Amino acid sequence: EAQVTQNPRYLITVTGKKLTVTCSQNMNHEYMSWYRQDPGLGLRQIYYSMNVEVTDKGDVPEGYKVSRKEKRNFPLILESPSPNQTSLYFCASSAGTGEARSGAFFGQGTRLTVV
Amino acid sequence: QKEVEQNSGPLSVPEGAIASLNCTYSDRGSQSFFWYRQYSGKSPELIMSIYSNGDKEDGRFTAQLNKASQYVSLLIRDSQPSDSATYLCAVIPLAGGGNKLTFGTGTQLKVEL
């Protein structure tokens, strides 16, 4: 079954404690991205990757890091989380080098609370 | 002006009626347009894509695109309670490389028995 898998699904953490949200896709997609979704603001892209070792900032990259060492994996790292990073996070993947051809296929989401 | 605008709703329609969801966008060079359905607490699911002016039909769903007026709409015929969800309009603007999605904030649809 084609899927994007994120872990964990729910996470409560304290300010400043480094955390990683993992993302893996089994569709051999080149393009992967991370979004956050907040009420009234919609989905906003944090970072994206067009292929292995190629990453770039999206619209709201501050406070986040990513890496793409393998095609299937695209972890999101919060080195020093703050309460304003409390949000619902989605990993997504797309065929080709962007989202224009076929949109994005989303993971199940990670609800992060930073206290 | 937001890049992609949608009425937040809720839009309430009776079961069996046609639901009409609208979206306007600001980047006139936008080329690709998508509709996603998102149930509460779940991830967005792609239901329609449209790339050229006119109508595109898929089952009970019809997407309509008018590039001159910069709007895209989604019609849901014979609405069912299971269609109750938030519908996200997403556009690929030319600005920024023409390669990544920009989302509206969504319209909440409620289909009432």
The confidence score (pLDDT) of residue A99 equals: 83
Tell me the Ramachandran region of residue B77: left when phi exceeds 0, alpha when psi lies from -120 to 50, beta otherwise.
Answer: beta
pLDDT tens string A26-70: 999 999 999 999 998 999 999 999 999 999 999 999 999 999 999
- Are residues B49 and B111 in contact, defined by beta-carbon separation less than 8 angstroms? no
Distances in Å between the alpha carbon of B13 and those of A20, B8, B80?
Answer: 42, 15, 9
Chain A hits for B46, CB-CB cut-off 8 Å, are 103-105
Give exposure, B9-24, as e/b (b: 16+ Cβ within 10 Å).
Answer: eebebeeeeebebbbb
pLDDT tens string B37-75: 999 999 999 999 999 999 999 999 999 999 999 999 999
Least CB–CB distance from B31: residue in A40, A100, A109: A100
| Chain B CA closest to residue A97 | B99
Nearest chain A Cα distance for residue B57, angstroms: 17
pLDDT tens string A84-113: 999 999 999 998 878 887 889 999 999 999
Nearest chain A Cα distance for residue B68, angstroms: 20
Residue where the block lists tokens 């080149």: A30
B88 DSSP β-pair partners: B36
